[in-house]
Chain A
């Protein structure tokens, strides 16, 4: 969707290296979320943000950090990538209601 873009779309990285995924929105939505999708688990919330510099943990936050210095950008960082973090990562934006979510197209991350 044009209102939300994720970069990169694909990345292969080595165990132990830092990785940053970017989510950019043009909708000026207050809320931004990072989810990971894994077989058998659906989408699980990693971290979310409810405003600039306001972030909180989701259900699978270990090994991840986030930053939001501008309304439009939400960064997800894997400080030291592990093979268990191989996944598809989705960013979502919302005005604050559960029915207002828009998802990005995802980033497929492979940690070797």
Chain B
């Protein structure tokens, strides 16, 4: 049973506009959340993360928001650029000794940025 869910398999956005990617989780023990970006024929690469003690983390054009009560996080990309076209994975990790460092991934969202 998937504990991290990305319900939108794809997203198309115009260059310069905002991309909003959503992620929901079911495990209240998750303590650390990450977004990965993946281009075809390459491995995922780390994009941005947030711990449960924060509700927002910003890094340049990328901002991640966390709503713990709703078990929901989102990734905002502003402005979107053609190079942002990729698959984005949401991931989560627990804080216990057993779960720390083991990532649970969502199914991914394919983002296409059009000119």
Contacts and interface: CB of A to CB of B under 8 A. Distances in A.
Interface residues of B, number: 25
B2 interface: yes
B25 interface: no
A106 B101 contact: no
Contacts, number: 61
Given A41-B2, A42-B106, A48-B102, A98 B43 contact: no
B33 to A, nearest CB: 9
B105 A106 contact: no
Interface stretch (B13-21, B44-52, B70-78): B44-52
B34 A98 contact: yes
Interface in B83-114: 89, 91, 93, 100-108
Interface of B: 2, 4, 6, 9, 32, 34, 41-46, 49, 89, 91, 93, 100-108
Given A42-B6, A48-B102, A103-B45, 18 more contacts: A1-B43, A39-B107, A40-B107, A45-B102, A45-B103, A92-B43, A96-B100, A96-B101, A98-B49, A98-B91, A99-B32, A99-B46, A101-B46, A102-B43, A103-B44, A104-B43, A105-B43, A106-B43
